[in-house]
Amino acid sequence: MWVWLRSLYGETSDRLLLEDAFTFANWRDAFFSPTHPKGEAIPDVHDMNCPCAKTTAAWLFHPQAGILASQWQRSLLTHAAISESDLNQLLQRRLFGVTRRSLQADLQILTDMRWLEYRGQKYHRVHKLPSRPTTTTSEPTFTNANSNELNFLNQEDLVAIAQNHSQMICGVQRFFLKLDYVIPRNTIDFVDDWQHQLRELWEKTPVPPIQLTYNSARLGNTVKCIVYPVCIYYVQRAVYLCAFGQSPDRETDWYNYRLDRIQNITPIKWTDSSLPQVLQQRYQRVNLPNPEEIETQMSQAWGFDFYLPSRLMLLRFDRDHHDRYIQGTFRHDTFKAIAYQQAERLIKQHTPLPEQQQALLKVLSSRSPQDAYYCVHYRHKDHNVSMRIRAWRPKAEVLMPWDLRQRIAADISAEFQLYLG
């Protein structure tokens, strides 16, 4: 934070050539060398003159800082719960050799501490500086308050892991969360801007509706949608805004908008005549959508596109594969093992057309009763469910519903043709 503040408010030699209103990208380009990587990974030492190559010791004990290294270290060891070896390791680390997201988080900390203001998708230097921050404890501890802040992880075991391991242990980080993240690097700054803008909107009372300009992959076109923003999810490689109102195809009231495909967000008033009727009604009833509605819907059927129709799926797993990789795992609340005879009953109950029912019963009769059979309620046409089924092939078979089974068969046939020659 000290280096950050010197770059923003320091003397002429330290202060960056930045406008008083700036983006993260503006600060990054002014602070680092022109060859500094702009991706998500921790940057390699690409240029010894780039600030990301400087160690913590080099920042602290630079002659201009006027800090005597030996005296400073003795003072810190006296007052802080840290060993001399751990301190030496920390001092030799590259202070700004961190991920882009760590730097973005620093800007958020400065904003929360009122050293910066965030508005209009930009950070603004403040004219009245806040008081110097103080603390009464030497080490961070988890309280009920910041324990609750981890609930966004949405799974009790991950919350417990984060509580136990999010802090360094004897100066070493032992817990890492690795996620697949497919957001293109050239849109990362926009994604962060949208998240900041949404955060500002959610701090308003009431939260306003917004008009999105959205590049829809499904439609292959850019559309405008008026929605009420509810919450953000990271699911299966990307970040999504769950919103209520208009969907790109106008077929559902809910939709999950991928943040990197949003081109513009414009807040509008609740009195705007262009508001969709379903959104006007929820506002007038003082019953605007909330994240709990989404969680409830997702608990009822497997799939992230919680607004799609729920259907019953019947699955068969190869017994050996099941015993190695499926048994003892959790997929969804409704994902349950059933007996071979129950599979037959479900086909009869949920396949009304006689020809399709007879065809599926014939398939089932040719399968081994010793295999593992499961049923699950799922969101029909949910992309993430389709990807999971594809990953299980050929050790898993969808027996029902009929149309899903036929679509999978067509995909497999088309894929086989690619490898036939």
Percentage of the chain with pLDDT > 90? Answer: 59
pLDDT, the chain, mean: 87
Given this model, what pLDDT does residue 125 score?
92
Sign of the CA dihedral running 314, 316, 321, 323: positive
Cis geometry, peptide bond prior to residue 401 (ω within 30 degrees of 0): yes
Confidence of residue 144 (pLDDT cuts 50, 70, 90): very low
Name the phi and psi angles at 316, rounded to 5.
-120, 130
pLDDT, mean of residues 134-155? 51
pLDDT, mean of residues 295-307? 93
Given this model, what pLDDT does residue 10 score?
85
Report all structural domains of the chain as residue ranges with CATH numbers, in order of start: 2-125 (no CATH), 185-289 (2.30.30), 310-420 (no CATH)
pLDDT in tens, 182-195: 777 777 777 888 88
Given this model, what pLDDT does residue 370 score?
96
Given this model, what pLDDT does residue 332 score?
92
Name the phi and psi angles at 105, rounded to 5.
-65, -35
pLDDT, mean of residues 370-379? 97
387 has a pLDDT exceeding 50: yes
138 has a pLDDT exceeding 50: no
* Least confident span in 44-53, 67-76, 117-126, 362-371: 67-76
Instruction: Judge if pTM exceeds 0.95.
Output: no
216 has a pLDDT exceeding 70: yes
Given this model, what pLDDT does residue 160 score?
67
Round to whole Å and give the CA distance between 349 and 308. Answer: 22
H or E stretch including 212?
strand 210-216
Residue 65's contacts (CB-CB under 8 Å, 6 or more residues apart) are: 59
